[in-house]
Every structure is written in structure tokens, then in C-alpha cells.
Amino acid sequence: MSPSQAGSAALPFAAVDLGASNGRVMLGSVTDGHLTLHEAHRFPNRPVRVNGTLYWDILALHRGVLDGLREAGRAAGGLAGVGIDSWAVDYGLLDASGALLGNPVHYRDERTRGAERRVHEVLSPAELYEATGLQHLPFNTVYQLVAAQGSPQLAAARRLLLIPDLIAYWLTGREGTELTNASTTQLIDPRTRDWSPVVAERLGIDLGLFAPLRRPGDPAGELLPQVLAETGLPGPVPVTAVGSHDTASAVAGIPAQGERFAYIATGTWSLAGMELDAPVFGEDSRRANFTNELGVDGTVRYLRNIMGLWLLQECVREWAAADGPRDLAPLLADAARAEPLRSVVDAEDPEFLAPGGMPERIARACRATGQPVPRDPAETVRCVLDSLALAHRAAVRDAQRLSGREADTVHIVGGGARNELLCQLTADACGLPVVAGPAEAAALGNVLVQARAAGAVRGGLAELRALLRARLPLRRHEPAGDQAAWERAAARIGRGGKD
């Protein structure tokens, strides 16, 4: 522990947690084995479409981070440290002077159309999976970079920084590439936990664009003098690399006991799978579209990306645009009374990736599979939640089958942990008890990695998770209902027999 950390042992850590719809700065403390967390500041994350391209408003996000650090420091009298996590795959490009070359493009933008074909002409999907173990997603960084080849921006770029690393660079002036997030680029070999020269060379991607790799717990610099002045914080304030992919921090923040658990990190996406000691390769794993992303303390997040609460968020946004704001609680209550499993859709279908027109796209998918079309918002919400539960069921069962490890509990963390109907439906579909909470798992994992690096807590993931179990109110949902009904529903969308 450095003198500055020792002198500020009573001060809290700031977890900067950037999500697809909002950002938060959370204050967390670990004192005498007691863990506390509360929100200091929240700000919106509103993408912007310009001339047909969808961008992240990265400067607005940075402004929100600075405002949040100011509020956090004002509330606590200072900070023991800062850690940053965010969504994956997207990046900013810097020129030789360190200036940003335009706003980062949003992963939901359509610029990667055609890039998959170009990549697979050079590296087949099987070869790409054997090299990186990563799930095929059309917006993975490797496809974004191939799509950008020949562009003036990429030609002028000296450095590529993933989103949390870009924010950290602006706060500290230090460049780095945190490993858990780098593992989502499809340029990392999870066996070596280093870059894959095979993929980079075959696709003409310059690995020199990336800053040196950091691991969770590594120092990432200190807040710059101008940042201290802007936020009113007394310095020095260290910045620590955490699991900067928010799912890596969220999995570290799961209050699990032992190894026999599956997890679903819910929010805009549902990331469902298991925590393993080593990656899983092979054609069965590739065909099941499972990914081997890297986690805290040398773990592997063996999981599948599912469209998640994006489906519900987009429906609510569409209804609000037409009829005014909608309160989610009455919609969920009506959905709980709606006929179960009347209609389901494939929550992993790329048809649902883009924004706009979600209720009609869900209706169209129901028609295409010969199912009743939802007649009102309640039935649409029930269709979404039943469909997500089905997708969770398939992913949890596939993860056990492919990894050879059994689960006796499913942990749901993130925003979906607050959705009691979704949690119960997931328990029913999986035939396993679901432990719901914490909703703020990413921020908690972020804080715990910082606290351990500062010497405020010791031990591995088991010890960190014991702290969470001692502190957190958790809800347990026991499975109920007819498993055969879920099997029949899965068969309607072509997902029967995958267990």
C-alpha cells in the first residue's frame, strides 16, 4: 500500500460504471469487513446519429464522469481511488498528438455489414474460433476494424483505446488496454491471455495500435492535476485497472458460494454462462455460439450473449413515443397475469439487434412461426420475458453440457435482478433455483478489485464473494411449473432438443 493509499484508508472508492443507456459514479467502502455502496451521480448515455452513422457521445460521457467524481468527492471529502468499467468492443482512435479522431461508432451501427464476409474469406469461422474462442457477433471489434480499413481515420490513428481505457487516458494521461475488455475484441487468445498474432496478421490489423495490456488490479496512473482541479478532489488519487468490461466486474460481484453455479448478468444484454478455470474450444462450443472471455483472477467467462432487456426497453420506448411515458411496474403486473408461453421468439435473433419498431418486429416473428400475435402491450411484455427465460434456459444448459461442470444454482445480477417476474420465469424455465441480486454487481466488483489492490481487503474471489453474501439482501426464486411446457415452447422457435 502506498503512503497516499494508507493515508486515505477511510475514504471510499469511486466506481465509474458506464452502461449502454446511462452512466453512474458509485461510492464504495470496505471497512472492518463491512461493504457499503451508494450512488453519487447518474447521467444519461444518449447515442447520436449523424449522416446515417450511429455514434457514442463520448465527450458527454466524459463530462458525466467528471461531474460524478466531483459529486463523489464532495460527498466523501475525497477518494481512495477510481476504477472504470463499461460495455465492450467499441473504441476511440487517437492521432499522434493524442487527440481523438472523431466520436466512437456505436456497435449497433450498420457499418460492419459486409465485414463478416471479408473476414471469413481470410479466416473461416472455425479458424477464428480456434484462434480466439470468441462467440460470433457481427459487431466484434475485429469486424469493426476490417470495416474501417482504408478510412482516413484509421490511416491517421496512432493509438486505439477501448472505451474504459479511453476515459482512463483522459483522466490520467496514461495509456493501457485492460485484458478483460481486450478479450472481447476477437484479437486475444484466451489460452495465452495475450494478443493473437495469427488473427492480426491474416486480417492486416496492426497490433501496435493497442496500448500495453493491463490486468485487473494493475495501477493505471493517477488523476491529472487538471482533473483534480476540475473535480475539486484532493490528490493524489490513484486509478486502478478493474475488470473494465462491465460483465467482468459484474461476475466478480456475484455472491456465489463454491463453483457449482451459473450466472446471468442482465441489462441491455443477458450474458448467461459459467465461470471456468480454462477456455472451452471445439466445434460443439462454436456451433452453440459460446464465448471465452477473460475474467478477474485468471478466470474465463464462458457465456453466450443474448439480446436481453433491450427487447423490453425498445418496446417501452416505442409505446412512450406513441402514447406518452409508460410506467414499467403496471406493465409487468399485467404481463404476470397474461397467458404464459402463448407466444415466444428467439431472443438471439439478429433481427432484434437494431433500434426501432420492436413491437412490430416481435409480432412479425410470431407470425413467421405460426404463433398468436400479441394483442396488447401486456402480451408483448409477457412474450419478451418468456422468450428471455427460454434463452436463459438454453444457455445455462448448454454451458453445463459443453463445460462438463454442473450448476445447482443460477445467479441473476444486474438490472434484471429487480425484475421479479423475469427471475421467477428463469427459475421455472431452467428448473433450478435463482438467486437474484445484486443489481449493482458491476459497481461492487469494480470497488472490490480496487479495495484489494489498495490493501483494504485480501483474498481471492471466494473471499470477495463472502463479503458480498454477508452484506447483501438477496431473493431466492424456487422453480415451479411444467418443464414439458417450456420444452414445447422451445420447439416452436427451433430451440427444442438443444439441452
62-80: pLDDT as tens digits: 999 999 999 999 999 999 9
Range 130-159 average pLDDT: 96
Residue 177 exposed, middle or buried by CB count within 10 Å (0-12, 13-18, 19+): buried
Cell of 249: 466486474
> pTM of the entire structure?
0.93
pLDDT greater than 60 at residue 488: yes
pLDDT tier for residue 7 given thresholds of 50, 70 and 90 = very low
Residues 435-461, mean pLDDT to the nearest whole number: 97
Identify the CA nearest to 17 among candidates 167, 235, 123: 167
Considering only CA atoms, give the Rg of the chain. Answer: 22
pLDDT > 70: percent of the chain? 97
Residues of the chain with pLDDT > 90, as a percent, come to: 92
pLDDT digits (tens, 9 = 90+) for 366-419: 999 999 999 999 999 999 999 999 999 999 999 999 999 999 999 999 999 999
Which positions ≥6 away from 51 have C-beta within 8 Å? Answer: none
Instruction: Please give the pLDDT value at position 497.
Output: 42
pLDDT at 31: 86
Which helix (H) or strand (E) element contains residue 55?
strand 53-55
- Return the beta strands (E) in 336-483 as ranges: 409-414, 434-436, 475-477
Helix (H, G, I), strand (E, B) or coil at 82: strand
478, with CB counted inside 10 A (0-12, 13-18, 19+), is exposed
Write the pLDDT tens digit of every residue in 297-321: 999 999 999 999 999 999 999 999 9
Q: What is the pLDDT of residue 498?
A: 41
Q: Which of 224, 255, 233, 285 is nearest to 70 (CA)?
A: 233
What pLDDT, on a 0 to 100 scale, did the predictor assign at position 496? Answer: 54
Cα 161–461–9 angle (5° rounding)?
75
Q: Which residues pair with 82 in a beta bridge?
A: 14, 239
Catalytic entry in 246, 386, 398, 428: 246
Is the model's pLDDT at 43 over the cut of 50? Answer: yes
Contact call for residues 185 and 89 (beta carbons, < 8 A): yes
pLDDT score of 105 more than 60: yes
Pick from 190, 70, 179: nearest CA to 130: 190
Q: Helix, strand, or coil here: 411?
A: strand
Position 499 pLDDT exceeds 60: no
Higher pLDDT, 251 or 326: 251
Asked about 246 being catalytic, the answer comes back as yes
Mean pLDDT of 269-279: 97
Residue 228 has pLDDT above 90, yes or no: yes
pLDDT at 283 over 90: yes
Query: Could you give the C-alpha distances from 75 to 6, 40, 69, in angstroms and in order?
Result: 20, 8, 10
